[in-house]
Amino acid sequence: MLENLKQELTDQINNANSLDELQQVKVKALGKKGSITLLTKNMKDKSIEEKKILGQAVHSLKEYIEIILKQKELFLIDMKIKDDIKKDKIDIFLPGVEFHQGSLHPLTITRNEIEEFFISLGFEVARGNEIESDEYNFEKMNIPKDHPARDMQDTFYFSEEELLRTHTSPMQARIMERNAPDKPIRVIVPGKTFRRDEDDLTHSHQFMQVEGLVIDKNISLADLKGTLELFARKMFGPNTQIRFRPSYFPFTEPSVEVDVTCHICKGKGCSVCKHTGWIEILGAGQVHPNVIKNCGYDPEVYQGFAFGMGIERIAMIKYGVDDVRLFYQNNLNFLKQFDKLK
């Protein structure tokens, strides 16, 4: 009788074509009212000897059925996976997922290029704080409280003493004080600066500058000119020329404004250079003896030059950008154009 049941269940397991069908066979054999389970229940009235023989036979039948159920189950799972893969068609015309790679901001590209140039000349790069004191932003730079030059740089004040720096020049004083009285200095300081200007095509209340400072014995305006000439050629092309125009800054004497030949018209005159052939790029000069003295060097022995340029202005000239506000709006169509300039 057990042989018949064994054969019957084996056939049913072999014939099961899906995991569902197999589950039904399993319940019919091993479930609470399954054929194998019932066999053990009916043993009550048998003698001990019979119970022993039948018990062993049922047990080995149960083990056998469990093993072939498991094998069939694994087989059917495997079949199902293969079947699913076959049904799964790949649509090769489906558009791919676009992968947006970020790129450096044009102001970062320009700042990096400026830094690389000055590092190649042996300059160090220093950074300062955006919050400055009135003392360093103005007083130490030879701009006392009632000085008219304060009107040129309308200032965001936190208090009478604390402000957002209007230029990177206060770092001149901080670096000189660190190195006084006799260490030579070659440094640039890039960073954010702030002025209470109305935002328009060429003004922004927040912008970036790079300060340059050289302090040593026997430094003259010729050193400044040579340095800036190399700089202009690196930034705007090998045929670029520069010129100095007399100017005024309280912390330099003499002071100059520096122009480069217009790289669009090569000096012939066009709308970019307002038909002059020249474009102003920065302010500079010999460090004022008062500043040198204020910061702990002897102006009779040490001289130096300093310059300050707007990174936005350099980038606008270099890339032909006519509205400074474009740098801060984060319009991807604008920013993407600088992708390849990294």
Residues near ligand PHE (CB under 6 A) are 167, 169, 249, 252, 283-285, 306-308
Q: How far is the CB of 280 from ligand PHE (least distance, A)?
A: 11
Q: How far is the CB of 175 from ligand PHE (least distance, A)?
A: 13
Q: Residue 77: how many CB atoms within 10 A of its CB?
A: 11
- Kind of pairing between the strands at 131-133 and 242-249: unpaired
Q: How far is the CB of 165 from ligand PHE (least distance, A)?
A: 10
Q: How far is the CB of 206 from ligand PHE (least distance, A)?
A: 14
Q: How far is the CB of 334 from ligand PHE (least distance, A)?
A: 26
Closest to 215 (Cα-Cα) out of 252, 259, 266: 252
Radius of gyration of the chain (CA): 42
Structure tokens at 168: 């990177």
Q: How far is CA 322 from CA 131, 190, 266, in A?
A: 29, 22, 18
Measured from the CB atom, is 194 or 307 closer to ligand PHE? Answer: 307
CA–CA gap between residue 182 and residue 176 (Å, rounded): 10
Q: How far is the CB of 275 from ligand PHE (least distance, A)?
A: 25
Measured from the CB atom, is 25 or 284 closer to ligand PHE? Answer: 284
Measured from the CB atom, is 167 or 263 closer to ligand PHE? Answer: 167
CA–CA gap between residue 196 and residue 156 (Å, rounded): 6
Q: How far is the CB of 111 from ligand PHE (least distance, A)?
A: 16
Structure tokens at 76: 């059917």
Measured from the CB atom, is 15 or 220 closer to ligand PHE? Answer: 220
Closest to 126 (Cα-Cα) out of 80, 172, 195, 184: 172
The count of C-alpha atoms lying within 13 angstroms of the C-alpha of 334, restricted to the half-sphere facing its C-beta, is: 17
Measured from the CB atom, is 26 or 167 closer to ligand PHE? Answer: 167
Measured from the CB atom, is 16 or 292 closer to ligand PHE? Answer: 292
Q: How far is the CB of 247 from ligand PHE (least distance, A)?
A: 8
Measured from the CB atom, is 36 or 256 closer to ligand PHE? Answer: 256
Measured from the CB atom, is 138 or 327 closer to ligand PHE? Answer: 138
Tell me how many helices (H) and strands (E) the chain has.
12, 9
CA–CA gap between residue 248 and residue 257 (Å, rounded): 8
Instruction: State the residue number with the nearest CB to ligand PHE.
Output: 308
Q: Mapped to the 3 state alphabet, what secondary structure does 75-144 carry?
A: HHHHHHHHHHHHHCCCCCCCCCCCCCCCCCCHHHHHHHHHHHHHHHCCCEECCCCCEEEHHHHCHHHCCC
